[in-house]
Structure 1
Amino acid sequence: MILGCIADDFTGATDLANTLTRRGMHTVQTIGMPKGAAPDADAVVVALKSRTIPAAEAVAQSLAACRWLRANGAKQIFFKYCSTFDSTDDGNIGPVADALLDELGADFTIACPAFPENGRTIYLGHLFVGGDLLSDSSMKNHPLTPMRDANLVRVLGRQTPHRVGLVPYKAVKQGAPAIAEAYSALKAQGIRHAIVDAVEDKDLENIGAASSALPLITGGSGVAIGLPQNYRTARLIPKREGASALHGVGGPGIVLSGSCSAATLGQVERFAAKHAARAIDPLALAREPEKTVAALLAWAGETLTSGPALIYASAPPDKVAAVQAQFGREKAGEMIEHAIAALAKGLAEKGVRRFVIAGGETSGAVVSALNVEALEIGPQIAPGVPACLSYGSARYALALKSGNFGGPDFFAEALEALS
């Protein structure tokens, strides 16, 4: 192992594994803390569900992952979070980054969630989603981590007691040497965290080159674009092509969606117009959870004999707010996650092996229910979303999609890619 990665949710982990695999690194993703010996891979991505848990728990889990990765040879650590910097003023990005720096005996790191291929760019420290500031995007209404400040220097500054600086685009566009000089200047000022501007992939390649000596890198999957070339230059990995095709598993395919992002809502609408679809009724679920899940399983069992199907809890912000007001935010989320996990387990018992999952929390619930311990990374389906195949005796073809990723027809495209 060369690169050890810690991701704060499951879809973010596959996003990062996808980037590294496409750039020629043999990458394995583990679901939660690895069990047993380390996989034979250039990079291992440990997928945690730590994005929205209490900061102290996120720190403890991330440190455990870091220690395991280093004990198994990792020469550099990467902390992966969402390209929309999903967090609250209490964390968890700042607390985890600080704890990892302390663990590694380091005094400086970068924070760069830019992902231009999916419309996430940073200019003068401000994060844009497409042409909108983060604070003007649909993320301002996220049910768990509403992002209402686009200035990442300010956002991260509220999460850490240490100073946060900026590497502006003026330095980034001059290339790797200028970026490295900016790092040194910020360190000399006592700055521990640096937001780094990036508006295109070339910027990310240069940031990666400038960061070759950093013990810890933090960011979205985009900033990992430049890392494999560092390892090739150091003769740590050979030149390789991207991902190989995965073995097919066959059988019926199901889409399970818990994300309430604007992109996913559009995907649900598009898929439901052409295929069988059934919404999860939160009121019925609260009254009779087992009966509600059993009814959905019975419906799916009949429907999947004639084609793919969709079961979804995705809903517009006003409906989500109404459910949260009635049951509480955490209970409402847990209720849906438990239901989708039970559905996945029940469907697997019926022989379903192809799953398309929308939403980070939902993906975590599903792979845990299926007892998936690690994933083989295959070809990209959409930017940030690869086809995956689980290791183990029961092999599942999976597409784990972050809420905002993928085009309008992603669900159908993913099921086709997993066939």
Structure 2
Amino acid sequence: MSTPVSSDWPKGLLLAFYGDDFTGSTDAMEAMTAAGVPTLLCLEAPTPELLARFPEVRCVGLAGSSRGRSPEWMEDELPRAFASLAALGAPILQYKVCSTFDSSPEIGSIGCALDIGVKLMHGNWSPMIVGAPRLKRYQVFGNLFAAVGGEGHRLDRHPTMSRHPVTPMSEADLRVHLRKQTARRIELVDMVQLCGPDPAEKLRALAGDDTPVVMIDVLDEETLAAAGRLVWEQRGEGVFSASSSGLQYALAAHWRAGGLLPQTASLPTGKPVQTIAAVSGSCSPVTAGQIRWARANGFRVERLDLQRVLNERAGGGEIERAVNVAADSLRRGESALIYSAEGPDDPAVLEFDVTAQKAGLTRHAAARRVGEALAEVMRCLLDRVELPRVVVAGGDSSGEVASALGISALSAAGGLAPGSPLCRAWSDLPRRDGLEIVLKGGQIGEASFFGSVRQGALLSS
């Protein structure tokens, strides 16, 4: 855990958040921990008994899976999850969303989460920060941009997000995108207003009988700190915020500017290990490049046969085959990577709907079964082979795997690529307690990412 934060802060928690997927949750945890705010990420609703083990914690998260869920699921599950966090008394309750705003009215509706969460806090506005320069995400006049490979793209023209298999982005103006998901009033504090003499004046002008969502532009470090100041100083009796980890970075930037946090954000460097095991359910071209790097640099790389995985009779045998391949490699001192797809143009991805249909499954059910298969591969590997460190690539896959391992909570143990820290697992199971695990989003990391995890520090590609 990090050094305790300044005594100038109010007592108790500063922030509580629910992550809409596991990789995003570790991203938010990393942002706070690296800044100097001790943070714990729970994999189940936090209990007083669990939190009593970490008295220094000032930020608590709950990792979830709502990004891939329907509004009906969210209405059943999120009220309890949000209430468990609101009960902790933090002045800001966050629904942590992906920095590429993955969502639609049918899947992962951010609007649905907003309508549920706003009722739990007393504030007269709901701030929203999505831009996060450290992650190469930028919001300008309400439009979201993301950089990949050194080139910036408007999100509706992004090479991955515009083609996302579940929630493709056809609109970069987040106000337009979000209005399809909620009837709540949506406003904007743009970068000109934010950098003006009194950005809070815009908030006062927006006041009404409702609780509007107010998006805040973030382009650079100056606007990031200004956004954090606006949220913190105008939090009132408590606010609910659907935001990316841009909220964490913004608050930390404001607190840092006020001298409440160290000027340099950092996490310790991990130690190298001889071998790691990895599973990947990501369809991202970024992850595809990382799989190719692993194949060319001494990893045993093995594809899951999705037709067999989705077949009820053959699925168990395919999982056993993959586990045997990986376990044999690890015993020989060779790192192992089991994957389900290698980029968006992989035939396994292009033909996935047909494969699912042949198995008598909907696309969503088939995708969950693939995630469950990867989780079972990792669980069986950890039961058979002593492993100090593992990695999971893909947001949905990370949720399935982490949930299957009997882990109660995670804390950030070391820095790797921005958004994917090296985590320390806390568990009542002796073989899981102390395990180091990295949960990697599809868009995160350089080509040598899997090598960096093995090394415990970034490698050049």
TM-score (norm 1): 0.92
Query: Could you tell me how far apart the structure 1 residues matched to 2:128 and 2:184 are?
Result: 14
1:347 to 377, 381, 403: 381
Query: Could you tell me how far apart the structure 2 residues matched to 1:128 and 1:34 are?
Result: 35
Structure 1 residues 79 and 179: alpha-carbon distance in aligned structure 2, compared to 1, 3 A threshold: farther
1:32: Cα distance to partner?
Answer: 3.0
CA-to-aligned-CA distance 1:148-193 (integer Å, 9 cap, x gap): 111101011111112212212211233xx63322222223596711
1:2: Cα distance to partner?
Answer: 2.5
**Counterpart position of 1:132:** 153
CA-to-aligned-CA distance 1:324-368 (integer Å, 9 cap, x gap): 233131132022111101101111102223111111111111111
| One-letter identity of the residue aligned with 1:221 | S
SS in 2 for 1:211: helix
Contact 2:224 2:253 in 1 (8 A): no
Is 1:210 matched up with 2:230? yes
SS in 2 for 1:178: coil
**Counterpart position of 1:292:** 318
Contact 2:291 2:342 in 1 (8 A): no
1:163 to 139, 160, 185: 185
Structure 1 residues 118 and 238: alpha-carbon distance in aligned structure 2, compared to 1, 3 A threshold: closer
| One-letter identity of the residue aligned with 1:286 | L
SS in 2 for 1:298: helix
Deviates more, 1:278-287 or 1:58-67: 58-67
> Aligned pair count?
416
**Counterpart position of 1:405:** 444
**Counterpart position of 2:425:** 390
CA-to-aligned-CA distance 1:109-161 (integer Å, 9 cap, x gap): 12221122222111121111122111111111111211111110101111111
1:82: Cα distance to partner?
Answer: 0.3
**Counterpart position of 2:409:** 374
SS in 2 for 1:57: helix
| One-letter identity of the residue aligned with 1:262 | P
Contact 1:251 1:354 in 2 (8 A): no
SS in 2 for 1:301: helix
**Counterpart position of 2:94:** 78
**Counterpart position of 1:180:** 200
Mapping of residues 2-401 of structure 1, within 5 Å: 2-37=14-49, 38=51, 39-40=54-55, 41-90=57-106, 91-130=108-147, 131-137=152-158, 138-174=160-196, 178-188=198-208, 192-212=212-232, 213-214=234-235, 215-228=239-252, 245=268, 252-274=275-297, 275-287=299-311, 288-304=314-330, 305-318=332-345, 319=347, 320-327=349-356, 328-350=362-384, 351-392=386-427, 393=430, 394=432, 395-401=434-440
Q: Any gaps of 5 or more consecutive residues in structure 2?
A: 1-12, 357-361
| One-letter identity of the residue aligned with 1:66 | F
1:317: Cα distance to partner?
Answer: 2.8
Q: Any gaps of 5 or more consecutive residues in structure 1?
A: none
1:265: Cα distance to partner?
Answer: 1.3
Structure 1 residues 239 and 120: alpha-carbon distance in aligned structure 2, compared to 1, 3 A threshold: closer
1:286: Cα distance to partner?
Answer: 2.7
1:257: Cα distance to partner?
Answer: 0.7
1:370: Cα distance to partner?
Answer: 0.8
- Identical-pair percentage: 27
SS in 1 for 2:184: coil
| One-letter identity of the residue aligned with 2:80 | A
Contact 1:284 1:292 in 2 (8 A): yes
Contact 1:357 1:400 in 2 (8 A): yes
Query: Could you tell me how far apart the structure 1 residues matched to 2:457 and 2:217 are?
Result: 36
Structure 1 residues 379 and 173: alpha-carbon distance in aligned structure 2, compared to 1, 3 A threshold: farther
| One-letter identity of the residue aligned with 2:354 | A
TM-score (norm 2): 0.84
Deviates more, 1:183-192 or 1:370-379: 183-192
Query: Could you tell me how far apart the structure 1 residues matched to 2:66 and 2:292 are?
Result: 30
1:59: Cα distance to partner?
Answer: 3.9
1:54: Cα distance to partner?
Answer: 1.5
Query: Could you tell me how far apart the structure 1 residues matched to 2:326 and 2:406 are?
Result: 21
1:300: Cα distance to partner?
Answer: 0.8
Query: Could you tell me how far apart the structure 1 residues matched to 2:256 and 2:153 are?
Result: 37
Structure 1 residues 238 and 124: alpha-carbon distance in aligned structure 2, compared to 1, 3 A threshold: closer
1:68: Cα distance to partner?
Answer: 1.7
| One-letter identity of the residue aligned with 2:122 | G
| One-letter identity of the residue aligned with 2:309 | L
RMSD of equivalent CA atoms? 2.5
1:401: Cα distance to partner?
Answer: 0.8
Deviates more, 1:68-77 or 1:205-214: 68-77
1:234: Cα distance to partner?
Answer: 9.8
Query: Could you tell me how far apart the structure 1 residues matched to 2:263 and 2:405 are?
Result: 32
Deviates more, 1:59-68 or 1:294-303: 59-68
Query: Could you tell me how far apart the structure 1 residues matched to 2:202 and 2:421 are?
Result: 34
